[in-house]
Amino acid sequence: MSIKKSANVVWEGSIKEGIGHITTQSKTLENHPYGFNTRFEDKPGTNPEELIAAAHSSCFTMALSKQLADNNIDPQKLETKCTVTLDEVEGGFAVTKSHLEFNASLNGADEEAFRKALGEAKEGCPISKLLDTEITLSITLND
């Protein structure tokens, strides 16, 4: 099976004064602005790192949901925050880290099985496999 998803970007202007607009295939983002100021100056709009963080946290959480179901664990709620780090490195900029912060209630599930599922989801989610960077995971499990 092969699934293809797409996004289109139009950029106008120079790197610092220009602006781009992103449109995703689903139209969830439609002509959504991004630019130098949204990436480096905290102005309204999105940026590639934020989109990667959204992709990684959502992919990991879906993969974890499958891993938990495979182990007969039925959590009520899974919550993941992802922080992607962009650093200046020799030769320019690079994404150097993707940190997943996971929070859930055990709901009586075996903690060891839960942690095993977390590790498998971290390593097995397609976005984790795509990223060529350090991937870390912090876990908060509530009883």
Tens digits of per-residue pLDDT, 39-69?
999 899 999 999 999 999 999 999 999 999 9
- Check residue 76 and give its pLDDT: 81
Query: pLDDT tens digit string along 67-106?
Result: 999 988 988 889 999 999 999 999 999 999 999 999 998 7
Q: What structural domains and CATH numbers belong to the chain?
A: 7-40 (no CATH), 48-142 (3.30.300.20)
pTM of the predicted model as reported, rounded to 2 decimal places = 0.92
Token pair of 51 as six digits? 């989109």
> Could you give the CA distance from residue 37 to residue 61 in angstroms, rounded to a whole number?
30
pLDDT tens-digit map of 107-141: 888 889 999 999 999 999 999 999 999 999 999 98
d(C-alpha 3, C-alpha 22), whole Å: 20
Nearest-angstrom CA–CA distance, 124 and 121 = 5
Per-residue HEC secondary structure of 84-99 comes to EEEEEECCEEEEEEEE
